[in-house]
Amino acid sequence: MKTQHPNSSAWSSTASKRDAADTLKNFRDEFSFPMHDGRDVTYFCGNSLGLQPKRTQEYVIQELEDWRTFGVEGHFKARNPWYSYHRWFAEPLARIVGALPHEVVAMNSLTSNLHLAMVSFYRPTPERNKIIISGYEFPSDRYAVESQIRVHGFDPADALIEIQPAEGTSTLTTEQICDVIKEHGSSVALVMLSGVHFYTGQRFEIQQITACAKSVGASMGLDLAHAIGNVELELHDWGIDFAVWCSYKYLNAGPGAVGGLFIHEAYADRPDLPRFAGWWGNDEALRFTLQHNFVPTYGADGWQLSNAPVMNMVALRASLEIFQQAGFALLCKKREELSIFLHDVVSDVIADYPWARIISPSDPKQRGAQVSVAFDTHGRAIFDALIARGFVVDWRAPYVIRIAPVPLYNRFADIVELGNALTTIMQEFA
């Protein structure tokens, strides 16, 4: 039985040249890899949980030391004072999502932030109450959307519009999405999409879709769980109303890490806008006067509820420092090159197997790092065999293996190793 694909030598040659020329290759050393049979795993799961930055442990210990040393006075005397801890994240997050610093805040978790944003931007009426989402969206988003519809007294069977791919396809076109928006017109209250779809890896054309949503008077919101730290974003210029994200995927902030929120500058000074309020969203000058009238602080900070969960945010700080050192534009360039190479290698491997196909867009501009491979049969067994060989990929029911090379810590050689392993495994099922 062959152990390598016929194109393996060509893959290896390409990978060797690209890895040698990679100006970002040393950032791999900033991360800790799980071990398998005495060696680092080949990790392609940053779309689910990013690897741990090595500096994270040092940063956590520092906060523990400051807590021990200062007690409550650490809010102002810690090396990174806890009272203002959340402010540090505004600049680096704004650069990654294409926003102004006062438009973003690190807080809570993704779904909590989605609910908080929908309180402000889903204001249904009997005439305008529909929410449009993409088909087969991540369950937590759908749960949140459905529950918001019900809380307002409407029925998701009527008010939730789910756009499914056309028969024989796996992804949506911008034209298809805009056609649905226009079809429902003035009854649409909110268009809520992912920046990058969790299942297929499709990257939506948000600027065009936002313009379409605005043309019918709808609000526009985004879930950036699979987009932030992965693809270029221009949230401010696109004119979306809000966006939410988690930080444990491409941002490498650890399990259950703090999430984030974007609120467009148009709403930065809108105390009349309905919201759920908490004391950390109150005007900072009034925060400790203990007044009972809520005066929201300017920008996205005005949606905060509670003070920063410092221990939870330390890993995000460690990771964002690495992003700043690497430069996000260079990371995006390498991400696209890795994704193209992965797509080509996997396409070669599965070409002779009609029961396997790539469902991510073939155009690299229409996807992020992730390449999703669907298997009509043997999919779970192939996934298990990859895991057993030390390749950490991701299984999503009912039949998809998701593979996501991350530019901060993946090499082109990793993709060659995956291609050769997948070749051997697939031959077992031929």
Residue 4's pLDDT is: 81
The label of the residue with tokens 């004072």 reads 81
**Res 61 pLDDT > 70:** yes
Mean pLDDT of 235-241: 98
pLDDT in tens, 374-406: 999 999 999 999 999 999 999 999 999 999 999
> What does the block give as tokens for 222?
């985004």
8 Å CB contact between 24 and 330 = yes
Q: What angle do CA 192, 197, 198 make, to 5 degrees?
A: 120
Q: Give the mean model confidence (pLDDT) for residues 92-98.
A: 98
C-alpha closest to that of 133 among 216, 200, 220: 220
Beta bridge partners of 395: 401
Residue 2 confidence (pLDDT) = 53
Where in the chain do CATH 3.40.640.10 domains reside? Answer: 60-323
Q: Which CATH class is domain 8-53+327-427?
A: alpha beta
Say what the pLDDT of residue 219 is: 98
Q: pLDDT category, 287, cuts 50, 70, 90?
A: confident
**What pLDDT does residue 23 have?**
98
Q: Which of 12, 45, 17, 4 is nearest to 410 (CA)?
A: 45
Q: Is 356 helix (H, G, I), strand (E, B) or coil?
A: strand
Q: Just give the CATH number of 60-323.
A: 3.40.640.10
Specify the domain boundaries for CATH 3.90.1150.10 within the chain.
8-53+327-427
Residue 44 and residue 410 in contact, taking contact as beta carbons nearer than 8 Å:
yes
pLDDT at 430: 80
